[in-house]
Amino acid sequence: MNTEALASFVKVAEMRSLSAAAKLYGLPKSTLSLHVRQLSADLNVELFERSGRSMLLTDAGRTLLTHARQILGSCDAARAALTELSDDVAGTLRIGATGEFGTAFYAQMMIAFRRLYPKVEIELTFFSPHVLYASESFDQLDAVVSWDEGETEGETLWTARFALFASRSYLDRAGTPRTPADLADHQGIVYRTPAGLQHWRLQKGAAQESILPRSSLIANEYWTVKYFAAAGEGIAYLPRFFTDIECERGHLVPLLADWESAEKRVSIRLTRPQAASRKMAAFMDTCRRYFSPGFEFEGPRYFVETIHDPQRPEEGTRP
């Protein structure tokens, strides 16, 4: 049985769509379709049935999916076992992550690892949390890196706090809030989580506030929330590390000093901790070092586009 065709079948089965699987894994739709047809012909059974735009598994397809995952898992285990016999750290690591800040540090972390272990191939895939932790996704990965809301599983790599930020142009127009109660008079830019709109949870000593501001701008991507804030559209609730450059350049201003969120952690969880390999041990070590104080990243920093303000002179020019 062709393992490449099996792998294509599993990808399509998980996404219930040729187009979605092709987009997620960066493969030609025609290749996935051909592999599925070949596998169906080889086994002499129908593996999928159409339901609108979705491809649903037949009874035969569901049976095959269970065995296909076991077969592909065994192939990966065999490949990893052979790799362990060599002196070099090599092979493939499949890392899943929540995508809130992918460029800001996940991508940099992978580059830091590749600088040390260039023979390891990395497959980094971003999922929404409810898809990431679903068994059909989780079982295909070697490790998961994510921002956790109250989760206790996995190893903590780092913690960060959220706070409030706005542009000077917005504050000139709407005024500067001095207390959390003042936020009722302001426009917010709200992040949408899979569970709903994100409340601004702030604390200062023993005092705590949970605020859902009025808003006409909602997005499920933090880079967009940050851009709207820098463009003067309202107040945004963002991690402090994520706004450092914008604050340095004057595009954003921190608000309500000392009011911030509780610590939110970045964790890493191995999907098969009992079968950890040398390459996974090396990856874990790199992740820990990447988030350690004093670590110097030797590679390109995440790209932040300078927001052009016609009222502000360009960098390197005289006013």
pTM (predicted TM-score): 0.64
- Are 208 and 255 in contact by the 8 Å Cβ rule? The answer is no
Nearest to 91 by CA among 69, 117, 125, 111: 117
Distances in whole angstroms, Cα of residue 215 to Cα of each of 183, 219, 223, 291, 294 = 11, 11, 17, 34, 39
What pLDDT does 256 receive?
96
Give me the amino acid identity at 200. Answer: W
The predicted-structure confidence for 176-230, as pLDDT tens digits, reads as follows 999 999 999 999 999 998 788 999 999 999 999 999 999 999 998 888 999 999 9
CA distance 138 to 95: 10
Q: Give the burial string for 248-258 (b: 16+ CB within 10 Å, else e).
A: eeebbbebbee
Mean pLDDT is lowest, of 13-17, 87-91, 270-274, 311-315, for 311-315
The mean pLDDT of 44-62, rounded to a whole number, is: 89
Q: What is the mean pLDDT of the chain?
A: 83
What pLDDT does 164 receive?
98
